[in-house]
């Protein structure tokens, strides 16, 4: 996810540090690749994971730049996001399918993590000033992510677990109802069609996650309406997505994860889930984290040494390491309930 507010002035500073670091040690991007372990995985079945979506699932598209300041993913770095946790559970290692280079262009890698921070379901890149300064106008919408996968690999197969989580940026950018309703409904309908394309292209294990309750994010609750608009649009997206999946005959063919209910209940019971701070604070200190984004958050910018475990949100939109881990466990439980693994 990403909010569309104006942020400036970081690109030159990061570029300068990049040049120094790369000159000294010759680079440091994550190696691509996604391979299965030979030992029995915790999930009981070995699966190759493929992921499509936005920053909630991005395993390191922008890491070659963000890692210079200790960042790399949209969470409490160096922690993992849920897609990485799920991949490990099924014996796989998920890495980025594309990473950005010094020329601010996306370059293909060997990984299967196609999700990219800032992506919508199907609309072109529409960067806010912050990400334009840091990485450029580059992110692929989910429809392009899927096309890129199919161009490189041809089809999906029964040994894969395909994770799809998108729509949050469509909600964040939609504006206010009633004008925003059409934008959100179109995105959700399109996402259902894209899921159908994945199934038609050979995928037999597909996880589709609906939009979380964005109104309960720190960004939502501090907005003028207390998050009411975001909550309403999140609900509309999810209802439309459900209808779209049914219209495309996908009942029983995909595993739908209700992240809206999960986030709402987890926030309401934050202490029982091991957190000390709910959605009223963020783990990444705004005064220390460059431009107050979890992409550039590191232990040096935490509000406390264990903030990645005690806070629910890294910045005003993105989950912490612990929140991601708990969500991954929930997803794994829902997959097991469908009859796959344990």
Whole-number percent of the chain with pLDDT over 70: 85
Tokens of 165: 């989580």
Tokens of 269: 């019971």
pLDDT for position 29? 35
Q: Closest by alpha carbon to 213, among 243, 168, 175, 280? A: 168
**What Cα–Cα distance (Å) separates residue 159 from each residue in 11, 36, 57, 248?**
41, 11, 20, 23
Tell me whether residue 82 is exposed, middle or buried, using C-beta atoms within 10 angstroms of its C-beta: 0 to 12, 13 to 18, 19 or more.
buried
Q: Where are the beta strands (DSSP E) in 190-236?
A: 206-209
Radius of gyration, CA atoms only, the chain? 19
pLDDT for position 122? 95
pTM metric for this prediction: 0.89
**What Cα–Cα distance (Å) separates residue 6 from each residue in 117, 198, 291, 299?**
16, 35, 10, 25
Question: CA 129, 113, 92, 258 torsion: positive or negative?
Answer: positive
Question: CA 268, 172, 250, 163 torsion: positive or negative?
Answer: negative
For 11-337, CATH number? 3.40.50.1110
The helix, strand and coil proportions of the chain, stated in percent and rounded to the nearest 5, come to 40, 10, 50
* Segments of the chain with pLDDT less than 50: 2-37
pLDDT for position 128? 54
Half-sphere exposure of 86 (CA within 13 A, CB side): 30
Tokens of 147: 């096309």
Distance of alpha carbon 342 from alpha carbon 338, whole angstroms: 10
pLDDT for position 8? 36
């Amino acid at each position: 996810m990403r909010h569309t507010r104006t942020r400036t002035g970081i690109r030159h500073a990061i570029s300068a540090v990049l040049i120094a670091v790369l000159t000294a040690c010759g680079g440091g991007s994550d190696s691509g690749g996604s391979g299965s372990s030979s030992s029995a995985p915790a999930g009981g079945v070995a699966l190759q994971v493929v992921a499509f979506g936005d920053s909630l699932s991005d395993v390191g598209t922008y890491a070659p730049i963000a890692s210079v300041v200790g960042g790399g993913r949209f969470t409490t770095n160096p922690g993992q996001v849920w897609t990485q946790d799920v991949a490990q559970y099924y014996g796989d290692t998920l890495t980025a399918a594309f990473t950005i280079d010094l020329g601010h262009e996306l370059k293909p890698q060997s990984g299967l993590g196609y999700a990219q921070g800032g992506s919508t379901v199907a609309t072109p890149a529409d960067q806010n000033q912050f990400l334009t300064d840091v990485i450029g106008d580059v992110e692929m919408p989910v429809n392009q992510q899927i096309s890129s996968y199919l161009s490189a690999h041809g089809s999906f197969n029964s040994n894969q677990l395909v994770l799809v989580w998108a729509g949050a940026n469509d909600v964040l950018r939609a504006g206010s109802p009633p004008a925003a309703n059409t934008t959100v409904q179109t995105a959700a309908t399109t996402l259902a069609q894209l899921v159908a394309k994945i199934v038609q292209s050979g995928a037999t294990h597909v996880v589709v996650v609906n939009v979380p309750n964005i109104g309960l994010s720190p960004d939502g609750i501090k907005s003028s309406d207390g998050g009411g608009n975001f909550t309403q649009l999140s609900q509309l997206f999810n209802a439309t997505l459900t209808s779209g999946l049914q219209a495309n005959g996908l009942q029983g063919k995909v595993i739908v994860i209700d992240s809206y209910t999960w986030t709402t209940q987890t926030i309401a019971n934050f202490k029982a889930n091991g957190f000390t701070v709910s959605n009223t604070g963020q783990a990444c200190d705004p005064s220390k984290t460059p431009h107050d984004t979890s992409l550039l958050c590191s232990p040096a910018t935490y509000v406390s040494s264990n903030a990645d475990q005690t806070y629910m949100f890294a910045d005003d939109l993105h989950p912490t390491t612990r929140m991601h881990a708990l969500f991954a466990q929930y997803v794994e439980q829902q997959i097991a309930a469908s009859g796959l693994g344990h």
